[in-house]
A and B are shown apart, each in its own frame.
Chain A
Amino acid sequence: GENVEQHPSTLSVQEGDSAVIKCTYSDSASNYFPWYKQELGKRPQLIIDIRSNVGEKKDQRIAVTLNKTAKHFSLHITETQPEDSAVYFCAASPETGGSYIPTFGRGTSLIVHP
């Protein structure tokens, strides 16, 4: 099955700095890579996703890059703000009958200091 490694487990930055979270996956059949943000005491929420036919995707201050050859993908947050503080999860999944069953990384706790 799929195995997803996520680094770092904790990331501390100053407000305004950039933050990068990296993930690697093992199953070359994986073709959908979502990222979830979970604020303290709240449910995980999808913030951005990328499919394997795209190398990069941006949405305002967040971007995700994918390198299928190396089997790694990354989340980039620019101009970080205190409200970006949360646990971020990457995931990778192959498509099975039109559905995706993602395998999650262990999470990165991002702390943005004002």
Chain B
Amino acid sequence: DVKVTQSSRYLVKRTGEKVFLECVQDMDHENMFWYRQDPGLGLRLIYFSYDVKMKEKGDIPEGYSVSREKKERFSLILESASTNQTSMYLCASTSPGMGRDYGYTFGSGTRLTVV
């Protein structure tokens, strides 16, 4: 019962390419997030969105942008990929005011390699 789906498990892109990472959730959650996960650094927030067409910067937004045209879909965009953006990218969603469901549901992740 996969509820947060990331379109690609593995991606290899060239430096300078524009890269799109897609995330879709089927739980009607308002809030969606993009994190990157690097060994020893944990999960770092890139961008999040509270609603359609809304976006907020997280802790490390430089080099990234996002798009949320529909409630269920949240896209992460690397305008010009660089090697230091090689990482595991995790999408998550949640809905406010739902008791224990304050916790995130994560996608399976996209491992991006920029060469």
Q: How many residues of B contact A (CB 8 A)?
A: 25
Are B106's CB and A98's CB within 8 A? no
Are A101's CB and B48's CB within 8 A? yes
Interfacial chain B residues near A107, Cβ < 8 Å: 40, 42
Are B97's CB and A98's CB within 8 A? yes
| Number of A-B pairs, beta carbon distance below 8 Å | 55
A45 to B3 alpha-carbon distance, docked (Å): 13
Q: Mark B57-95, 1 if CB is under 8 A from A, else 0.
A: 011000000000000000000000000000000100010
Tell me whether A46 and B108 are in contact in the complex, defined as CB-CB below 8 angstroms, given that A98-B97, A99-B31, A106-B40 are known contacts: no
B interface with A by C-beta (< 8 Å): 30-31, 33, 40-45, 48, 50, 58-59, 90, 94, 96-97, 100, 102-104, 106-109
Instruction: Give the 3 A-B CB pairs with smallest separation, nearest first.
Output: A46-B103, A98-B96, A106-B42
